[in-house]
Structure formats: C-alpha cells, structure tokens
A = this chain, B = another copy of it.
Amino acid sequence: MKEYLKKYIKVIDDKLDKYLAIEDNPQRIIYEAMRYSVFAGGKRLRPVLMLLTCEMCGGDTDEVLPFACALEMIHTYSLIHDDLPAMDNDDLRRGKPTSHKQFGEATAILAGDALLNKAFEVVSAYSGNNPDRAMKAVNILAVSSGSEGMIGGQIVDMQSEGREITLDELRYLHLNKTGAIIRSACVIGAVMSGADSGAIKAVDEFSRNLGIAFQIQDDILDVTGTESELGKPIGSDAEEGKNTYVSLLGLQKSEELSEEYSKKAKQALNIFGEKANTLKELTDYLTDRRS
C-alpha cells in the first residue's frame, strides 16, 4: 500500500510545489514559512483520500487536484496554529522544529493564515465546465474547516483539557476536529466526480467512520508508538491532560473500537463493488499503521 500511494503523493507534492512557488518579492519569508510546514513530511492522507474517492466514483482527478492540495494546506495551517505557544505549545512536529520555533510566532501565525487563504485562492481559480459543482465543493471545504467543523472541534478540545469528558463528548469533538476534513476530502472527491446522492451518502458514511477509526488509532499510537516512529514525544496526550479514547476506554477496548469503526467504514463502500477495493485497503492500512 505504501508503495502504491507513492504515485499519488508525488502528483500532490508536485502540484503543491507549484502552488507554493516562492515569489521573489519583499514578503518572500511568508512563502518560505508556508513551504517549510507543507513539506515537513506529512502523509498526505487527506488529499490521497480525495483522489482515491474521485477515482472510485469515475471522476477526473485533474479537476479534483486543486481541492486535494487546498485540503492539505488547510490541514497544515491548522497544525501550525495548533502548535503555537498559546495553544498546544509544541516545539517539535514530525521531528522538526515547529513553525514558530523556526520563524518566530508572528510569522507562524501569518503563515497559517496565508495557507488558509491560499487554499481558497487555489480552488476558486476553477475554470472548468461545472462552476456550480465546483462552488458546492468550495462550500463543503469552507464549512468543514470552519466553526461548525474543524475549528469547532478545536474549541471544544481546548475547553475539555484538564477535565474528564464523556465518550459522547469525545466523539463529538473528533467528528469535528479531525473528522470534518477527512469527511470533506471524500465527499468533495465524490461531488466533483458528479456522483449521485446515493453514492455521496455512502462516501459520507465511509469517511465519517474512517475518521473516528483514524483518531482512535492516533490515540493508541501516542501510547504504544516510539518517538522515532512518530517524530514527537510519546505520551504527550496524557501529559497535557488530554482526553483520548485510550484514557477513557483503555488500550484493549480502544483497539476493538477502532476495528469496529474501520469495519463500518468498509461496509459503507459495498455499493461500489470492486471499485472500492483500494479505499478499503487504505482503511486497513491506516488502522494498522505505526506512525
């Protein structure tokens, strides 16, 4: 699977490289800061999910690629802002100094802002034959990363630090914080392919369950991983008083739950028959990962 994904990752990275070309003008430092975080070794999970969903739905990956890159920019901006001293105050991300450690806090804030902006710049440069469809996709993107999506989840996460929350609250938090843009990755892939409402619904169901399975696995890895595998200190969730699936349910129950959501995710794709094989394999790969 890792080998198979490489060709998709290359397509995404080449396009990101073009979108984020350094402009030789007085503000070039902002491009350097944007690139530093975007090319810091991310797995490109969200854009890959979008491209694979597009292929499953018979769409044109060229039309979808700007949206895939935009989603990676949005993911990256959220990490830059999350790492800030006023937020999680993290010094390392994927084994490298975080943006504010490298460029200073003010530039890190602006680099995050600029990536969020650039995401919408890139998708609104659409000039294809389906502006209605593209506008809908831009809207899905914006909603999923906003106050009823990712940012909503971040706020709830912040407010729940240091106090114990229920499993329902944890699920709500992650459905938004990490789940919303995993969902929009898949749903945009389907919408831009012209998929019908039944197919879009199935993709939504798949991605909703995948998002939770993915997050549980993240929580498990914070306990069972190694620093070299993850590129950050182990046990940081517990140290920061974060609520995780592992802190609420323990390791074994978390692993069972991850398996359960992963299974539900794959089932949702059955209507696509064999075309869903790659996404199903990716689901297994993600819930078995070590980093």
The reply to whether B120 and A142 contact each other, CB–CB distance below 8 Å, is yes
17 further A-B pairs in the complex, CB-CB below 8 A; given A23-B147, A31-B147: A25-B152, A26-B152, A26-B172, A27-B147, A81-B109, A86-B109, A110-B151, A110-B154, A110-B155, A117-B145, A117-B146, A118-B147, A120-B142, A121-B139, A124-B136, A131-B134, A138-B138
Please give me the 6 A-B residue pairs with the lowest Cβ-Cβ distance, nearest first. A117-B146, A86-B105, A131-B131, A124-B139, A27-B152, A121-B142
Q: A84-B109, A117-B145, A148-B23 are in contact. Are A29 and B155 (CB under 8 A)?
A: yes
The reply to whether A114 and B151 contact each other, CB–CB distance below 8 Å, is yes
Contact of A117 (CB < 8 Å), options: B114, B135, B147, B153: B147
**Bound Cα distance from A120 to B135, whole angstroms:** 11
| Chain A to chain B contacts (Cβ below 8 Å), 30 pairs | A26-B156, A26-B173, A27-B151, A27-B153, A27-B155, A27-B176, A77-B113, A84-B109, A86-B109, A87-B106, A106-B158, A107-B155, A107-B158, A110-B151, A110-B154, A112-B113, A113-B113, A113-B116, A113-B151, A117-B142, A118-B142, A118-B146, A118-B147, A120-B141, A124-B141, A125-B139, A126-B135, A134-B135, A135-B135, A135-B138
- Mask for A82-126, Cβ within 8 A of B = 1, else 0? 001011000000000000000011110110111011101100111
Hey, which chain B residues are within 8 Å of A106, CB to CB?
Answer: 86-87, 158
The reply to whether B27 and A114 contact each other, CB–CB distance below 8 Å, is no
Hey, which chain B residues are within 8 Å of A14, CB to CB?
Answer: none
Binding site for B on A (CB under 8 A): 23, 25-27, 29-31, 34, 77, 81, 84, 86-87, 104-107, 109-110, 112-114, 116-118, 120-121, 124-126, 131-132, 134-136, 138-139, 141-143, 145-148, 151-156, 158-159, 169, 172-173, 176
